[in-house]
Amino acid sequence: MLRVGLIVPRHRQSAVARNRLKRRLRELARLQLLPSRLPFDVVVRARAESYDSTFEQLSTDIRRVLSQLERWARPIPPADTPPSTVPSAT
């Protein structure tokens, strides 16, 4: 089960801006990360540029993180197993 933590530093921003960014990141985690049910604990640390990002830009970044997590979650075949052969269509 995936768990998500958020770190939103001040970066000379107001409390309103920090809370807005936290709400956006929480919603993206709820919509994109949590349904994946991957076996990871993820900490999202917002950078200063995140305050100027649109919801779509943040969503793209979260999708990129999700694809990396999915790659890491793939099982690695044992070294002594020969690679599977796919018959050719010729």
Task: Give residue 43's pLDDT.
Answer: 94
The answer on pLDDT for 50 being more than 70 is yes
The confidence score (pLDDT) of residue 37 equals 86
So what's the pLDDT on residue 4? 93
Residue 50, Cβ density class (10 Å: 0-12 exposed, 13-18 middle, ≥19 buried) = buried
- Domains detected in the chain: 3-73 (3.30.230.10)
| Residue 20 · residue 55 · CB < 8 Å | no
Task: Tell me the C-alpha distance between 62 and 5, whole Å.
Answer: 13
Cβ neighbors of 36 (< 8 A, separation 6 or more) are: 2, 66, 69, 70
What global pTM score does this model have? Answer: 0.76
Q: Does the structure show a pLDDT above 90 at 54?
A: yes
pLDDT band at 11 (very low <50, low <70, confident <90, very high): confident
